[in-house]
Chains A and B, each alone.
Chain A
Amino acid sequence: MRDTIVGGFLAVFLIVMIGEYVAFRRGLEALAELRVAGAALTLYFLESVLVLVLLIALISFIASGLWIFYRARDTGFLRATPLPLWSLFALRSSETVMVTSWALAIVGIPAVLALGLTYRAPIAFYAGAAVVLALFALFAAGLATLVTTLAAAALVRVPTRFAVGSTVAVLVLVFAIVVGKNVVPSVGDFHTIFEPEMLNGKPASIKFIERKFTWWPSHPFAASLYTSATGGAAGSSATRAGLWLLPLVSIVLAATLGRRLYARTLPVVMEAFTVLRSGDPARVAARPFPRRLRGPVGALIERDLLTLVRNPHELSRMAFIAFLLALYTSFVFIAPLREAGDRPHALARLMIFNVTAAGYFLTAFGLRFVFPSVSLEGRVAWIFFSSPLRVRRFVLAKLALAATLLTVAVVPIAMAGTLRLVRDVTLAVEIGGLLVLLSATTATLLLAFGTAWPDFRERDAEVLGTSGAGLASTVACLVYVAVIGWIAWGTVLARTSGGNEVPWLGAGVAVSAVLVAGALALIERGIRSLEAR
């Protein structure tokens, strides 16, 4: 069973990577046909991909690392063994790298493959690219370890939830602003990139991009990949030295400064959570509960929200997905989407991107916070199973809350993207309707799988999300998202070419209705068989 689940996840990742490869390959081939501007846009693409991978890896590492390094459950046990602190530090670094390096594999590998095959690069390119990606991974791991230990040392006296929440929030905000200003291309950038001028034997567009990304530490890696794949010149001798020096310096700093900070901070954090003093931040004001909502279901919903807000691990996960959402929002508002609105096929393709991106965020949020919500009642489930509460009311209230929160978090941003693309009010309303359907159906599907196959013994939402039921719900949601993306594409094409879009919309409503009805039946079945195991 476990092998099947692992195999299933590998298959899902493989499908996602193949999809990315196809999209990258088609995009790079289209760019290659633009000759000088195409070469510059290829470099821009590589710079952007590596910046995003670096930032995703950093946020993900720090959000998980602050927990894994200092609050992992087995820390007390391991500190009681003769294991040297240096080994524990190395163990925690490796554990965090393992759970946060997925971005490089999932985005980096398809991008490099697409680059090599588009420019018909020799086999040596792939070996060189593997070395560059490995150096990049080392650099990211060293830098992230250093930032994690610095943040922990600076915030050692504050509650972990505040340390994780504030660190991730600051990074997300700074990264979103910097990426919005510096990475997402503006109309002005495109004008410069399409300038055919040469400066000192190098296209002005390449020089412009080099200048734009000079201070990004991912620049040496992007320039190296570009040069070895296309044969074009990018970067300077300093850039080439940076390719080796950056990983070396980051690993040395992590192993020296990071380790010392860890050795100094860990005992303080451990003691803070074993000794409760009066006035300790872990105490809360003596006030009744619930404060906002009323009745048994209201109290449980308020408890869900309260424990979420007080859980640093959950908050950091939420902040990470919010970071991706912020990047997407930056793209929606800065990229020149209006220009695409005049071409129906381009508009329809961008609408697929818009709707499927919304679907991805809905699935990611939902898999983390909606799917596990019944299981996470966990070993405390004895409270509501032994209480006179109707479980059906409780689960349906969870559904209403989940659907509302997912809609509020994602749909307005996807609608902003729609309004940037579409001038036709009717079409915008129709796409808005599809987005609301997408949100409500995704929430219902995820809660249904979580209710039908709960695991009250597991306390980790990530582990629950990677269970068999988690895998099944992920696949179901992604297939549904793809179908709605396709329906949005058909709706846009039919509407802009004077055809009839109603059958497309009808299909969207019918598919969603069937899935919601099935999911509600599954919830009903789950409620009837729920037991506090």
Chain B
Amino acid sequence: MVDAPSLGGGADTPLRLEHLTKQFPGCLAVDDLSLTVEPGEIYGLIGPNGSGKTTTVKLSTGLYRPTSGRVLVAGIDLHAEPERAKQLIGYVPDEPFAYERMSGREFLHLVGELWGVPRERRDARIGELAGVFRIGDMLDGHVDNYSRGNRQKIALIAALLHDPALLVVDEPIVGLDPESAIRTRELLRQFVATGGSVLLCTHTLSFAESVCRRVGMLRNGRLVVEGALADLRGQVPGTASLEELYLHFAAAR
């Protein structure tokens, strides 16, 4: 249902950020950040507000241009060959804005057209994914009438429509009802089980804990700690949850 395509022969790490820096006027948002997302992995990016998570996500999807450093998607430099690299990425933004005077179905077809998904395939995928999120009866209403949760579902479907190899997801369950949040979790697990990879940025630590193999914590644009959850717990005896780990590292640095 959410099979991820192969990255192709010779492809290495699905996502590699190399010494990435993003300087806005008067603000260093991301500072010499390097990390990798391995095949079949959900990598969680956590951190306080203003730590650079969303900027990192936007750099990783080509929405921002890096001041320095590189973003490699399956070995392809995102800013040197954006069309090739973006073909492999599915992106769910933190604010799931969609064209308000279009229906959800029209919007999804537009997204499919942008990624070159043939019409028959689009029809099938839209029907299939709308069934997963139980949004089929809303699809022909204008998006401006959708609740935030339904917009989030549309954004998730849009990201999966072209069978990406890498999902970059910014706050995927904000606004979703509990059932949809559970379905999203299962969807992400299934996606990586079939070879896909995910860079997940979230404040919902319980969600990150339930799906991520590794997490990285950002602070002031720098990666302050990174590793598998079990290893991190090992570093801080007495901590059981990601929430406790987060509070520990947030206080320690």
Interface residues of A (CB under 8 A from B): 273, 276, 278, 280, 282-290, 295-296, 298-300, 303, 306-307, 310-311, 378-390, 529, 531-532
The reply to whether A288 and B123 form a contact with Cβ atoms under 8 Å apart is yes
* Choice from A307, A385, A390 contacting B83 with Cβ under 8 Å: A390
Cα A298 to Cα B138 in complex, Å, equals 26
Chain B 107-133 near chain A by CB (<8 Å), digits 1 or 0: 101110111100100110000000000
B-side contacts of A310, CB under 8 Å: 101-102, 142
The interface-forming segment of B90-98, B197-205, B218-226, B230-238 is B90-98
A-side contacts of B89, CB under 8 Å: 386
Closest CB of chain A to B231's CB: distance in Å? 32
Closest CB of chain A to B210's CB: distance in Å? 26
Chain B 67-102 residues near chain A, CB threshold 8 A = 82-84, 86-87, 89, 91, 93, 95, 97-102
B-side contacts of A379, CB under 8 Å: 95, 97
The reply to whether B97 and A290 form a contact with Cβ atoms under 8 Å apart is no
Contact flag A286-B140 (CB < 8 Å), given A385-B62, A388-B116, A390-B83: yes
Cα A384 to Cα B113 in complex, Å, equals 11
A-side contacts of B4, CB under 8 Å: none
Interface assignment of B103: CB less than 8 Å from any CB of chain A: yes
Closest CB of chain A to B56's CB: distance in Å? 14
A selection of 24 A-B contacts at a CB cut-off of 8 Å is A273-B144, A276-B145, A282-B141, A282-B145, A285-B140, A289-B105, A290-B110, A295-B113, A296-B114, A299-B110, A303-B106, A310-B101, A381-B63, A382-B63, A382-B97, A383-B111, A386-B63, A386-B89, A388-B83, A388-B114, A388-B115, A388-B116, A389-B83, A532-B64
The reply to whether A296 and B123 form a contact with Cβ atoms under 8 Å apart is no
The reply to whether A289 and B97 form a contact with Cβ atoms under 8 Å apart is no
The reply to whether A532 and B140 form a contact with Cβ atoms under 8 Å apart is no
Closest CB of chain B to A298's CB: distance in Å? 8
* Choice from B58, B86, B107 contacting A532 with Cβ under 8 Å: B58
Closest CB of chain B to A505's CB: distance in Å? 43
Cα A337 to Cα B123 in complex, Å, equals 58
Additional 10 contacts, C-beta under 8 A, given A382-B91, A382-B93, A385-B62? A284-B106, A285-B140, A289-B107, A380-B98, A383-B111, A387-B111, A388-B83, A388-B84, A388-B87, A388-B114
A-side contacts of B116, CB under 8 Å: 296, 388
The reply to whether A286 and B139 form a contact with Cβ atoms under 8 Å apart is yes
The reply to whether B91 and A386 form a contact with Cβ atoms under 8 Å apart is yes
* Choice from B82, B86, B111, B145 contacting A273 with Cβ under 8 Å: B145
The reply to whether A283 and B140 form a contact with Cβ atoms under 8 Å apart is yes
A-side contacts of B106, CB under 8 Å: 284, 289, 303, 306
The reply to whether B95 and A307 form a contact with Cβ atoms under 8 Å apart is no
Interface assignment of B184: CB less than 8 Å from any CB of chain A: no
Closest CB of chain A to B198's CB: distance in Å? 15
A-side contacts of B140, CB under 8 Å: 283-286
A-side contacts of B100, CB under 8 Å: 307
Cα A390 to Cα B106 in complex, Å, equals 21
A276, A280, A298, A380: residue with the most chain B Cβ atoms closer than 10 Å = A380
Nearest opposing residue in chain A for B106, CB measure: A289
Nearest opposing residue in chain B for A391, CB measure: B82
B-side contacts of A389, CB under 8 Å: 83, 114
Interface residues of B (CB under 8 A from A): 58, 61-65, 82-84, 86-87, 89, 91, 93, 95, 97-103, 105-107, 109-111, 113-116, 119, 122-123, 137-142, 144-145, 158
The reply to whether B87 and A385 form a contact with Cβ atoms under 8 Å apart is no
Cα A531 to Cα B55 in complex, Å, equals 12
The reply to whether B110 and A289 form a contact with Cβ atoms under 8 Å apart is yes
B-side contacts of A276, CB under 8 Å: 138, 141, 145
Cα A529 to Cα B79 in complex, Å, equals 12
The reply to whether B113 and A286 form a contact with Cβ atoms under 8 Å apart is no
Nearest opposing residue in chain A for B81, CB measure: A388
A-side contacts of B137, CB under 8 Å: 278
The reply to whether A387 and B101 form a contact with Cβ atoms under 8 Å apart is no
Closest CB of chain A to B165's CB: distance in Å? 13
B65, B82, B97, B101: residue with the most chain A Cβ atoms closer than 10 Å = B101
The reply to whether A387 and B86 form a contact with Cβ atoms under 8 Å apart is yes
Closest CB of chain B to A219's CB: distance in Å? 42
Cα A49 to Cα B89 in complex, Å, equals 59
Closest CB of chain A to B94's CB: distance in Å? 10
Nearest opposing residue in chain A for B58, CB measure: A532
The reply to whether A288 and B61 form a contact with Cβ atoms under 8 Å apart is no
Cα A403 to Cα B103 in complex, Å, equals 28
The reply to whether B141 and A378 form a contact with Cβ atoms under 8 Å apart is no
B-side contacts of A278, CB under 8 Å: 137
The reply to whether A303 and B110 form a contact with Cβ atoms under 8 Å apart is yes
Cα A276 to Cα B113 in complex, Å, equals 28
Nearest opposing residue in chain B for A296, CB measure: B114
The reply to whether A282 and B142 form a contact with Cβ atoms under 8 Å apart is yes
Cα A378 to Cα B98 in complex, Å, equals 10
Cα A278 to Cα B140 in complex, Å, equals 10
Cα A383 to Cα B159 in complex, Å, equals 10
Closest CB of chain B to A136's CB: distance in Å? 37
Cα A384 to Cα B110 in complex, Å, equals 10
A-side contacts of B111, CB under 8 Å: 383, 387
Cα A382 to Cα B60 in complex, Å, equals 12
Nearest opposing residue in chain B for A159, CB measure: B142
Which 6 residue pairs are nearest across A and B when measured between Cβ atoms?
A289-B109, A299-B113, A387-B114, A310-B101, A289-B106, A379-B97
Nearest opposing residue in chain B for A273, CB measure: B145
A-side contacts of B64, CB under 8 Å: 531-532
The reply to whether A299 and B114 form a contact with Cβ atoms under 8 Å apart is yes
The reply to whether B103 and A284 form a contact with Cβ atoms under 8 Å apart is yes
Nearest opposing residue in chain A for B90, CB measure: A386
Nearest opposing residue in chain A for B119, CB measure: A288
The reply to whether A388 and B86 form a contact with Cβ atoms under 8 Å apart is yes
Closest CB of chain A to B12's CB: distance in Å? 20
The reply to whether A288 and B122 form a contact with Cβ atoms under 8 Å apart is yes
Cα A276 to Cα B99 in complex, Å, equals 17
Cα A486 to Cα B79 in complex, Å, equals 47
Cα A303 to Cα B114 in complex, Å, equals 12
